């Protein structure tokens, strides 16, 4: 009983084949064409490394390939599952479903089997998550063409935040905007936040119902969530994934009047403003060096002032979110760092934690500099814990798909 999980980014695709009964990974694939060349990695059952630059084979390190795009990546991964020795999927009939991560689910509050109507509703939300929903639809179309007889399940990043209260999800705007057009806070990165909330409870050996967590998902996109009793009570991303923390190329929250000013007084079109805020802001916009935190940190360490400023803004906004959410929950039991930057950038974690002693969060500098996830990097006497967790969106998707299949056997 195998499940295929497809996680589409704006210029990347993560593919995972999992044993649905054992929660075990059977094969992984990753394609990334954000740069000039497409980098592709495939790891099958034996994880043997292949250093040839043909892109064919079972290899641990990425290789360059001459194709790009979500559809090509889907076709290649499914082909590798069935043709690269040792075969990860020798019997295609053992594949019971394909789970798709969909970033913006709008009014969907649970995972669903994808039908023509569901696909249409996902497409209608593409304007609200342009970097993600369109790639997910391209991935879905390619996967359905390759695997037409297998149920395809949509698992939404927004559903974890369906527990937000009206005072948390309602914007202070004309009420008819909320009622007529659904302008409200939806929240994102829910798959990651849900996994980390569960994993934090395991690491702390405490029931999730007793915990007040602030989870910081820091990757290309960034968001923080306040999780109390295992449920989301607040989050930084809102109507779209543009709100909230500073990100790699996205601005995060800004004065909304800036948008009107740039259009009315500087002559920029709505499309130009949106492009700038989505793709030319954040780390890239402030530093002028890169959207990659590793490169910005290296430039900052070499004395580049704009890079130093970019890192300072980035960490300051995270620290502010932690403080606000701790107050919202009446305290904090643990701060969680996850995703690419959160898991690997010790300097970022140290900067975020500088000053959080007032909340009972005391960082162990040595542990922070040397540990690997999953780990507790707070000082032994710290009242609150500071955790690094390697996020597993694939496990959250697997569990959601399993639930859909079990509650509606007709989808299998």
**Residue 119 assigned to a binding site:** no
Annotated catalytic residue within 32, 80, 157, 394: 157
**Residue 344 assigned to a binding site:** yes
Closest among 14, 11, 137 to 393, alpha carbons compared: 14
**Residue 329 assigned to a binding site:** no
Q: Is 157 an annotated catalytic residue?
A: yes
Rg of the Cα trace of the chain?
21
**Residue 341 assigned to a binding site:** yes
Answer for the pair 246, 282: CB distance below 8 angstroms, yes or no.
yes
**Residue 285 assigned to a binding site:** no
**Residue 293 assigned to a binding site:** yes
Distances in whole angstroms, Cα of residue 13 to Cα of each of 7, 42, 74, 254: 6, 12, 8, 30
**Residue 18 assigned to a binding site:** no
Contacts of 68 (CB under 8 A, 6+ apart): 31, 33, 38
Closest among 13, 5, 10 to 242, alpha carbons compared: 10
**Residue 221 assigned to a binding site:** yes
DSSP state of 215: E
**Residue 193 assigned to a binding site:** no
**Residue 68 assigned to a binding site:** no
**Residue 393 assigned to a binding site:** yes
**Alpha-carbon span 291 to 138, nearest angstrom:** 25
Return the exposure string of 103-137: e unless at least 16 CB atoms fall within 10 Å of the residue's CB, then b.
bbbbebeebbbbeeebbebbeebbebbbbbbbbbb
**Residue 342 assigned to a binding site:** yes
Helix, strand, coil distribution of the chain in percent, nearest 5: 45, 20, 35
**Residue 295 assigned to a binding site:** no
- How many CB atoms sit inside 10 A of residue 201's CB? 20
- Binding residues for ATP, as ranges, are 14, 217-221, 292-294, 340-344
Q: Which residues are annotated as a binding site?
A: 7, 14, 101, 217-221, 292-294, 340-344, 393
From the annotation, which residues make up the binding site for substrate? 101
Active-site amino acid positions: 157
**Annotated binding-site members for Mg(2+):** 7, 393
């Amino acid at each position: 009983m195998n499940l295929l999980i497809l996680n589409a980014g704006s210029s990347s695709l993560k593919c995972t084949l999992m044993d649905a009964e054992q929660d075990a990974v059977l094969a992984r694939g990753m394609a990334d064409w954000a740069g000039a060349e497409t980098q592709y990695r495939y790891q099958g059952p034996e994880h043997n490394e292949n250093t040839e630059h043909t892109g064919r084979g079972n290899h641990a390190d990425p290789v360059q390939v001459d194709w790009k795009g979500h559809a090509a990546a889907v076709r290649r991964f499914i082909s590798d599952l069935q043709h690269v020795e040792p075969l990860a999927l020798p019997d295609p009939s053992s594949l019971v479903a394909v789970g798709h991560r969909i970033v913006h689910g709008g009014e969907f509050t649970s995972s669903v089997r994808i039908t023509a109507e569901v696909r249409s509703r996902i497409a209608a939300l593409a304007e609200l998550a342009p970097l993600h929903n369109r790639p997910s639809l391209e991935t879905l179309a390619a996967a359905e063409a390759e695997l037409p007889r297998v149920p395809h399940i949509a698992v939404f990043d927004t559903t974890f935040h369906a527990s937000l209260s009206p005072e948390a999800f309602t914007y202070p705007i004309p009420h008819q905007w909320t009622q007529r057009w659904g302008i409200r806070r939806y929240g994102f990165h829910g798959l990651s936040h849900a996994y980390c909330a569960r994993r934090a409870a395991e690491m702390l050996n405490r029931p999730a119902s007793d915990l007040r967590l602030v989870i910081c998902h820091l990757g290309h996109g960034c968001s923080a969530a306040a999780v109390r009793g295992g449920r989301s009570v607040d989050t930084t991303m809102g109507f779209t994934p543009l709100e909230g923390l500073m990100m790699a190329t996205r601005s995060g929250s800004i004065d909304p009047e800036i948008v009107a000013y740039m259009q009315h007084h500087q002559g920029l079109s709505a499309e130009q403003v949106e492009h700038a805020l989505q793709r030319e802001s954040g780390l890239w916009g402030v530093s002028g060096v890169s959207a990659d935190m590793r490169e910005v940190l290296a430039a900052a360490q070499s004395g580049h002032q704009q890079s130093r400023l970019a890192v300072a803004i980035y960490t300051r906004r995270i620290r502010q979110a932690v403080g606000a959410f701790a107050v919202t929950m009446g305290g904090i039991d643990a701060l969680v760092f996850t995703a690419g930057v959160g898991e690997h950038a010790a300097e970022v974690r140290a900067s975020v934690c500088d000053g959080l002693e007032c909340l009972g969060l005391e960082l162990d500098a040595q542990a922070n500099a040397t540990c690997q996830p999953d780990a507790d990097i707070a000082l032994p006497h710290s009242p609150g814990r500071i955790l690094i967790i390697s996020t597993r969106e694939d496990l959250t998707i697997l569990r959601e798909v399993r639930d859909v299949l079990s509650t509606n056997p007709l989808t299998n």
